[in-house]
Amino acid sequence: MTATDSKNDSPRERGRLDLITCVVQRGKADKVAKAALDAGAGGATIHFARGMGLREKLGLLGLAIVPEKEAVLIVTPETLTKKIFDAVVKAARLDVPGMGIAYVTPVTMAAGHIGTEF
C-alpha cells in the first residue's frame, strides 16, 4: 500500500471486475484468447473441459458422448467487458449453433495482478 491508498481501497471502489467465460470446441481457444488480448484484455487462462448436452445423447444406444472442450477465462475491468466480450463472440463464431457459449459473471473479490489498471 502506498501513502495515497486508503484502507478501504477495494476493487469494487476502484472499478468493478467481470469474468468472461467462453467454452469452445477443442483447438479453438487460442484464437479466442488472442482476440481478447487484441481487444485489451490483460491476459487469459485456457483449460481443458468436458461438456455434455442434448446433442451428445444421440450416441450409440442413447449413451452420452462426452466431447472435449476448451474454456477461456478472462478477468477484466467492467469498462472493457463489452469490447472484449464482443471480440470473443466474433472470434469463437458464437453466432453459429453448436460453436460454444460465452457469458459474463461479476467478480465480487479478487487478489493478485490482473494485468490491467482499474
What's this model's pTM, rounded to 2 decimal places?
Answer: 0.76
Distance from C-alpha of 89 to C-alpha of 102, rounded to nearest angstrom? 7
Q: 56-85 pLDDT, tens per residue?
A: 555 555 555 558 899 999 999 999 999 999
pLDDT value, residue 112: 81
pLDDT value, residue 24: 93
pLDDT value, residue 57: 59
Residues with Cβ within 8 Å of residue 28, at least 6 apart in sequence: 70, 92, 99, 100
Quick one: fold of 12-107?
Alpha-Beta Plaits (3.30.70)
Q: Evaluate the CA torsion angle 108, 103, 53, 23 in order and state its sign.
A: negative
- Domains of the chain by residue range: 12-107
pLDDT value, residue 6: 43
Q: Which residues of the chain have pLDDT under 50?
A: 1-12, 116, 118
